[in-house]
Amino acid sequence: MAQAQIQPTSHKRILSHDFVVVSESQIIPQNEMPEVFRLPSCSGHNLYEISVDEIQHLFTTRALTSVQYVQFCLDRVQRVIFLPSSSMQTLNISKVNPYLEAVIETNPEALDHAKALDEERRLGKIRGPLHGVPVFVKDNMATADRMQTTGGSWVLLGCIVPKDAHIVRLLRQAGAIILGKTNLDEWAGMRGSIYSLGYSARGGQCRNPYLLNRSANGSSSGSAVSVSANIVPLAFGTETDCSVISPGMVNGVVAIKPTVGLTSRGGIIPISETQDSIGPYGRCVADAARALDVIAGPDPDDKFSTVPERRQPKSYCDFLTDRHSLKGARFGLPMKRFWDVAPYPQKAVAERALRLIKEAGAEIIPVDMPCADERLDEDGIWDWERYGESRPEISEITVSKVQTYYLMNEYLGKLKNIPIKTLEDVVQFNDENRGSEGGHEGDLPAFPDGQRLFRKCVETKGIKDETYYAALKHIQTQCRKNGIDAALRCPPEHRKGSEDEMLDALLFFDVKAGGIQIAAQAGYPVMTLPIGLDPDGMPLPLTLQHTAWQDEKLVKWASAIEDLLKAHNEDNGISPLARSQRMGRIPPTYKNHLRKNIPVDPDYEWPGRHRDQGAPLK
């Protein structure tokens, strides 16, 4: 770890593998938020919006221990102060989780792990950039310890998993401390077609820290919220279609959904073997890149992670760069069904970001995806059940229903200590426990249609019939060859060389999530970073896409754009109090913090938004 004096207002990076990414923690005020959400100092240090590199700097200089920081993060979830024994009372000082419900449970062994890692550091053993850093994992990632792995459902409470999920094992090996499990759309959103995003029976209703009556999206709601709300610096989520990227977008954090197979799905409660991916959340690109370095890698238990075409650089941090790299870059901006239907006034914020990118010397070229007319409705709004009933042979949901059935049965069959062994058992449990799980239509406001998708999965019996294979081939061909790959090919009028000339990346202002859906079906990588706030105070994203195994290019261009936005704020003297003018990540202020509505309101408001108000983002 490079030693550097921390200058909180600087946005500059040292371009090498050993560098310190410096946050803006000292200049961002917290007085606009309710007092209960304000982050206190930790052993005299301001840790608000702190980066992983800064945490390591404090650890390395012995200014802070992992034990101190882990306890600080646990207190941020919920702190209990015991009054004198004579009073026989306890005073519960609620921190953020009783309001946000982002965390399902904390790890009772976290402080023991922190103590052991502090001792390793004292003896000169440093495992890497995440040594001693607390992180959260989603509650569908197996941990073979004293914590539960339930997918947010009561049906799996008490189950014993055979071993840690592969990425959990890699995190532990890297010295990260699993602080706990995060809330999610129950069963990662696969149980129903209409439900309250971020709700699970076990975890309750996860809420957006910007506007607590609004959706935190899903299914990795709690992971994104925990990072945005400064509970932890890093967290991890899973995605089949939108479940990593969409929560990142609406909670104002950086998120990476890697190429399918870059991160192993071993030990994860499954949905789709052709679309599931595991990705990190961070408050800056460098933090997310450091996390991806740890969790990326082949796994014999996941055949998609060992394919011959797999490519992975030594470190994704080697591709971190600054705004000057944008000079000469050429990006595609997909138009039809994407930019053309982006809602106003959110679109005005994206236009500001694109203008800055152009002023930095990049070229933004309008492009189209030949598949867009078929894969998306004309309003461009995400709908993964499109064609499910009318033309199942070309529908994404056809594939996921079949795969969910046989993958879920395989996963459940390996669990011990519970009688649940099949998806049919899960459906029956939900039906029999209507008050807690709401198995039937109308049982619970969070699950209006009960468990409609689970019932449809059971109907398939996991049989890969002619319709299944037709649908799988169709969605992959359309979204790869006639989708992202086609849009990446430089249009003839802009070519400087051969007809095979490729653009550097695709840019999306994807608040309707149509672009993420295309990438999900293709199995291609997506990355999102915050660019500012809409008039309601909700964070807005810019997302980047590329073809398979080009994840490092997304890290490169996202880091350059992030640096550009920070420089814009600094060069123009835009105060942190001028939230509507600032660009990049703008921390939440927890408006409407006493609201407890279920279902939650939609994340963004625009004309026509309520058409799919109840539709889940899986």
Given pLDDT bands bounded at 50, 70 and 90, which one contains residue 582?
Answer: very high
**Among candidate residues 487, 439, 434, the one with its CA nearest the CA of residue 195:** 439
Tell me what the mean pLDDT of segment 29-40 comes to: 92
Residues 473-524: tens digit of each pLDDT:
999 999 999 999 999 999 999 998 888 899 999 999 999 999 999 999 999 9
pLDDT at res. 404:
98
d(CA 224, CA 202): 18
Nearest Cα neighbor of 346 from 576, 557, 569, 580 is 580
Return the ∠ at Cα 192 (arms to 471 and 617), rounded to 5°: 70
**Higher pLDDT, residue 456 or 80:** 456
Q: Which of 95, 138, 456, 556 is catalytic?
A: 138
* pLDDT, tens only, 522-533: 999 999 999 999
618 annotated active-site: no
> 3-class SS at 593?
coil
Give the model's pLDDT for residue 90. 47
pLDDT per position as a tens digit, 384-440: 999 999 999 999 999 999 999 999 999 999 999 999 999 999 999 999 999 999 999
Return the amino acid letter for 566.
K
Residue 383 contacts residue 397 (beta carbons within 8 Å): no
Instruction: Provide the pLDDT confidence category of residue 607 given band limits of 50, 70 and 90.
Output: confident
Choice among 12-21, 158-167, 251-260 with the minimum mean pLDDT:
12-21
pLDDT, tens only, 48-80:
999 999 999 999 999 999 999 999 999 999 865
Q: What is the pLDDT of residue 78?
A: 83
User: Does residue 496 carry a catalytic annotation?
Assistant: no
Confidence of residue 345 (pLDDT cuts 50, 70, 90): confident
CATH number among 2.60.120.10, 1.20.140.10, 3.40.718.10, 3.90.1300.10, domain 97-390+473-572: 3.90.1300.10
Task: Using DSSP bridges, classify how beta strands 505-508 and 204-205 pair: parallel, antiparallel or unpaired.
Answer: unpaired
**Is the pLDDT score of 10 beyond 60?**
no
Preceding peptide of 599 cis, ω within 30°: yes
Single out the catalytic residue among 25, 153, 196, 243. 243
**pLDDT tens readout for residues 402-411:** 999 999 999 9
C-alpha to C-alpha distance for 247 and 243, rounded to whole angstroms: 7
Mean pLDDT of 555-571: 98
Binned at pLDDT 50, 70 and 90, residue 610 comes out as low
Residues 154-168, mean pLDDT to the nearest whole number:
98
Give the lowest-confidence range in 47-61, 436-450, 552-566, 598-612.
Answer: 598-612
Give which of 246, 179, 192, 194 is closest to 219, Cα–Cα: 246
Q: How far apart are CA 389 and CA 301, in angstroms?
A: 34
Structural domain boundaries in the chain: 97-390+473-572
Q: What pLDDT is attached to residue 122?
A: 97
Does the pLDDT at position 552 exceed 80? yes
Tell me the DSSP string of 208-240.
Answer: -SSBTTB---SSSHHHHHHHHTTS-SEEEEEES
By mean pLDDT, which of 54-63, 81-90, 176-185, 368-377 is the weakest?
81-90
Task: Examine the pLDDT at 6 and tell me if it is beyond 50.
Answer: no
Q: What does pLDDT average to over the chain? A: 93
Is the pLDDT at 91 greater than 80, yes or no?
Answer: no
Q: Report pLDDT for 25.
A: 62
Residue 13 has pLDDT above 50, yes or no: no
Of the residues 66, 219, 220, 400, which is catalytic?
Answer: 219
Known active-site residue 163: no
Per-residue pLDDT of 324-337, as tens digits, reads 999 999 999 999 99
